[in-house]
Amino acid sequence: MKGQKIGYIRVSSEDQNPDRQLEGLELDRIFTDKFTGKVLERPSFIEMMGYVREGDHVYVHSMDRLARNLIDLRKTVQALNEKKVTVQFMKENLTFTGQDSPMAVLLLSMMGAFAEFELSIIRERQREGIKLAMQKGIYIGRKKYLSKEQTEQLKEMITQGMTKDHVSKYFKISRKTVYNYLNKD
């Protein structure tokens, strides 16, 4: 059974350009997400997982575009293979069909572990750089989203009984950010 050629593209933020991923491939359908890989509830990822059928071939630029950690990577490849969908990672030049040899499974685990390790090293360097910049007084953190007046308004809205969900939508911030503002002095 010959299936469709499906592309999955993910960039971490709205301002990143996804064009370089899967460039030059002729695909029947492309699913694109602009979310961090840590987020599993990516709309296009979920849509792709429901869309693919037996015989389809999913192309992904690299392993870290599909998942940010080894556990999620293995689960996703396994779920696709159980649907009899082939997964191909272009950068690593690896293809997984579900009929893979023990060596292919080992390669998936090792390459996924290396990708996860690389990400943790990048984050560690970033934390060290921020700490050093803070000590020198160069880095003062992210600019506050809400002004002092808006912060007071946010607190007043909560005091008056508005839900945090309503307040987050009103200010166009996440609920976590609402909690962060509420927990500040």
Q: What is the largest CA-CA distance in the chain?
A: 63
Residue 131 burial (C-beta neighbours within 10 Å; 0-12, 13-18, 19+): exposed
Q: Which pLDDT score, from 0 to 100, does residue 87 have?
A: 96
Asked if residues 98 and 55 have their Cβ atoms less than 8 Å apart, the reply is no
Domains of the chain, by residue range, sit at: 5-114, 148-183
Task: Check pLDDT > 60 for residue 1.
Answer: no
Supply the pTM of this predicted model: 0.65
Task: Check pLDDT > 70 for residue 103.
Answer: yes
Q: What is the CATH class of 148-183?
A: mainly alpha
CATH of domain 5-114: 3.40.50.1390
Asked if residues 62 and 91 have their Cβ atoms less than 8 Å apart, the reply is yes
Residue of 12, 44, 62, 168 with catalytic role: 12
Task: Check pLDDT > 90 for residue 115.
Answer: no
Q: Which pLDDT score, from 0 to 100, does residue 39 have?
A: 67
Q: Is 12 a catalytic residue?
A: yes
Give 118-171 pLDDT, tens digit per residue: 878 888 998 888 888 888 888 777 777 888 889 899 899 999 999 999 998 998
